[in-house]
A and B are shown apart, each in its own frame.
Chain A
Amino acid sequence: MKRIVFASMLMLGMVGCATPPETSHSLIERQELKVDPEVIYTMEVTELFQERLSQPGGGSLLQVQFAVDARSDAELAWKVTWFDDSGMKVKGVGEGYRRATLLAGQSRFFKATAPNPRVTSYQLHLREPK
């Protein structure tokens, strides 16, 4: 009896070792586009494109373009955060928001290029600068 219990424990232990613990998962699905409510009053995001730019020596870089239509004169701050295949953040050049001024009725197009070919996804955040 003791031998059976010992063998069962050993097998369970080995199974436990064989299954790697899950460490990579996102708790909440990450949004590609995050727009603050204050921004929605004054403008509308009309386009959001992404493409991979082929590089001359091989490989490609992710590029993101978005368009905004302004309903009234407004200030906009935007930032793209880049992520690799594992969902880890990839550092860009700067960390700050880029600012833009929009005139009523104006459509503006903004573009950002990933800092590294490892980048596979992104998050674009639009907010109103204080």
Chain B
Amino acid sequence: MLIRAVAISVGIAVLAGCAAPTRYIDPAADDGPVAMTMDYRDFEKAATDAVEDMLASGAVNNPNGGRYIMVVSRITNDTMQRIDTDQLTKKIRVALLRSGKVVTTTAVGINGAEDEMSMKARELRNSEEFDQSGVQRKGTLQAPDLSLSGKILQRNHKVGKEQQVEYYIQLSLTDLASGLAFWEGETPIIKRGSDKSVSW
């Protein structure tokens, strides 16, 4: 009995010793292996390509001066993975905000407001419980000028004994006044690896 307990303990200790230690990864210096699924580096590449191209094209420069107001529309996930498309759009929004050219509204959205508080705060109007001087007045919300929409596609192929997974990140920036796409971009991300790797 004692020998068995000692053997199990030693086994667990050895296995624990073999396990890779948990460590922090610095995104600015990550040379780690590539996954067949979409990882943070892929979203970073797509966002960088999109933002640099938007800025260079001048599409986000308001000719009347000031900043454009952008709303994030539908970004369709047509991949086999469960992707939160905010991973992509947030990077784009942050970068455009930092550029000083675009500000994003959270008061409107394809499935309702991203931040419902803009409307909730207005429900305090005429409430006797609240000091009305601090309550938002009518007609202060800003309507969007631009809409960001897109799609993430995935295609899988068998190439010899390997598997090729293609992702296409397609984005459009539509001028809401005219309905015209002021800017469009596509970032392909192609990965080839073991046929045994899973991409979903």
Contacts and interface: CB of A to CB of B under 8 A. Distances in A.
Given A56-B58, A98-B45, A115-B95, A93 B100 contact: no
Contacts, number: 66
A53 B28 contact: no
Interface string A1-40: 0000000000000000000000000000000000000000
B160 interface: no
Interface string A82-98: 00000000011111101
B48 A98 contact: yes
B30 A96 contact: yes
B199 interface: no
B14 interface: no
A115 B58 CA distance: 12
Interface in B95-127: 95, 98-100
Given A55-B61, A57-B62, A116-B99, A93 B52 contact: yes
B47 A113 contact: no
Interface size band for A: 20 to 34
B190 to A, nearest CB: 11
A35 to B, nearest CB: 17
B27 A56 contact: no
Given A55-B61, A93-B95, A61 B56 contact: yes
B141 interface: no
B44 interface: yes
Given A56-B58, A61-B56, A93 B63 contact: no
B52 A113 contact: yes
Interface in B52-102: 52-53, 55-56, 58, 61-65, 91-92, 94-95, 98-100
21 contacts: A53-B58, A55-B58, A57-B61, A57-B65, A63-B56, A77-B31, A93-B44, A93-B47, A93-B48, A93-B94, A94-B45, A94-B47, A95-B27, A95-B28, A112-B52, A113-B53, A115-B52, A115-B55, A115-B98, A115-B99, A116-B98
Given A95-B27, A113-B55, 13 more contacts: A55-B61, A57-B61, A57-B62, A93-B52, A93-B95, A94-B48, A96-B27, A96-B30, A96-B41, A98-B48, A112-B52, A114-B55, A115-B99
